[in-house]
Amino acid sequence: MVFAARQPDREQMIGNWGHRMIAAGVDYNDFLTTVGRVKVYWEDWCREWCKTAAMHEGFALEHEKRGHMISAAEAYFQAALGYHYACLHFIWDHAQYIPAHEKRVALFAKAAPYLDPPAVPHTVPFGDLRMPGYLRLPPGVARPPVVIMVSGTDSTKEEHNSMETVFLRRGMATFSYDGPGQGETWFHAAMPVDFERSTAAVVDYLETLPQIDGKRVGLYGQSLGGYLAPRAAAYDQRVKACVASGGSYDRTFMLKHLEDPSQRGRHEQLYKTTEWAEIERIIRASTMEGMAKNIRCPLMIVHGTKDFVPMEHSERLIREVQGPTELFVMEGGRHCSTNMSYRWRPHSGDFMARYLDAR
């Protein structure tokens, strides 16, 4: 059954989601062509992006038959991105969502060994849950520091390649994972209020790996991840630096946005409940109040002046933390400033490299 929700207009699709998708590596021509085929969003979006993804999957198979694995991997990666964004905001129609999700996971796994540098699969134990992730190592660097990529509401480990490159080129390893309620783990667990425990489990795991320096750990997150990453830094003093983009101080401002059925549907999926009282309880409990003062590591926050998350959220967090801070304001930046990635991404990478003592 397709969820009955307000139709987003084309400006919303292009202005808000397009910047995010292109910044993550979606080909601009693919974006224009595919969005051009979308006539009725809730009916067409997933189907049309799956068509584009399937096109790239076909290219990958052709390259693979010829033994051209680098070309095949590039096409598999584009296919995985296409299937990933086919899932974007499309969680209410599982007949379409689940096959697209499965393709995203399978095709990224085919591309992973041929990325530059390769993405190596790992599994992190977290209670009864097994959280899948990918570790990437910067070439020529012995025991580098590592940046954990913390995903947001509908982000997954397969989305972070372009941001990982920012850290990898500066001598840092990256680890992207699906925490509770995200990507592959959604089938087994909802996102908890204390999501930071999963990030601490990742740090525990990384400390056991001889190829990285598990004592030099940073966190990066955007959107909901931009809230979750500072919260994890407050919880775990092993974190040496944190960068957050488009995050919030607390999640209560989202309650008014949940009047939109599409936003409410996303949160019902994230928290695996349709009970409004339970969703409201979780959101009201999701706050940095009483926790912000525990952040002692260097913290950089990126915030756009056109982000729907109010600027005062970042300003309050900056005031309350105990460590060095930097608020990088992007004039005209939309949500997470993905429309201006060329400005803040290098600065974020340099900030992280400086405090993780990357070489």
322 and 343 in a single domain? The answer is yes
- The CATH number given to whatever domain includes residue 175 is 3.40.50.1820
Below-70 pLDDT ranges, the chain: 1-13, 15-16, 41-42
Q: What angle do CA 30, 36, 37 make, to 5 degrees?
A: 95
Structure tokens at 6: 């307000």
User: Final residue of a domain: which of 53, 81, 110?
Assistant: 110
Does some domain include residue 296?
Answer: yes
For the chain, the first-to-last Cα distance in angstroms comes to: 52
- What DSSP element (H or E) covers 217? strand 217-222
Does some domain include residue 258?
Answer: no
Contact 158, 84 (CB under 8 A): yes
Q: What is the pLDDT of residue 13?
A: 65
99 and 143 in a single domain? The answer is no
**Hey, CA dihedral for 140, 142, 145, 148, is it positive or negative?**
positive
93 and 237 in a single domain? The answer is no
Q: What is the pLDDT of residue 2?
A: 37
101 and 173 in a single domain? The answer is no
pLDDT digits (tens, 9 = 90+) for 110-119: 999 999 999 9
106 and 149 in a single domain? The answer is no
Does some domain include residue 264?
Answer: no
177 and 319 in a single domain? The answer is yes
Q: What is the pLDDT of residue 3?
A: 38
Strands 129-136 and 173-177: antiparallel
Domain that holds residue 83: 10-110
Q: What total number of domains does the chain contain?
A: 2
- The CATH number given to whatever domain includes residue 31 is 1.20.1440.110
Q: What is the pLDDT of residue 170?
A: 98
Does some domain include residue 1?
Answer: no
197 and 336 in a single domain? The answer is yes
CA dist list (Å): 30 to 45, 56, 60, 175: 13, 10, 16, 28
Distance CA 348, CA 163 (A): 10
Q: What is the pLDDT of residue 89?
A: 73
User: Final residue of a domain: which of 74, 89, 110?
Assistant: 110
pLDDT digits (tens, 9 = 90+) for 20-74: 999 999 999 999 999 999 887 667 889 999 999 999 999 999 999 999 999 999 9
Does some domain include residue 242?
Answer: yes
184 and 40 in a single domain? The answer is no
Residues 6+ apart with CB under 8 A from 229: 150, 199, 219, 220, 221, 242, 243, 244, 247
347 and 290 in a single domain? The answer is yes
User: Final residue of a domain: which of 56, 89, 110?
Assistant: 110
232 and 299 in a single domain? The answer is yes
238 and 343 in a single domain? The answer is yes
Does some domain include residue 269?
Answer: no
Burial (CB count <10 Å: 0-12, 13-18, 19+), residue 187: exposed
Amino acid sitting at position 303: H
Chain Cα centroid distance, residue 81:
13
DSSP string for residues in 68-110:
-HHHHHHHHHHHHHHHHHHSTT-TT-HHHHHHHHHHHHHHHHH
User: pTM, whole model, 2 decimals?
Assistant: 0.95
Does some domain include residue 4?
Answer: no
Edge-to-edge strand ranges of the sheet holding 146-150: 120-126, 129-136, 173-177, 146-150, 217-222, 239-245, 299-304, 325-330
Q: How many CB atoms lie within 10 A of CB 4?
A: 10
41 and 83 in a single domain? The answer is yes
Does some domain include residue 266?
Answer: no
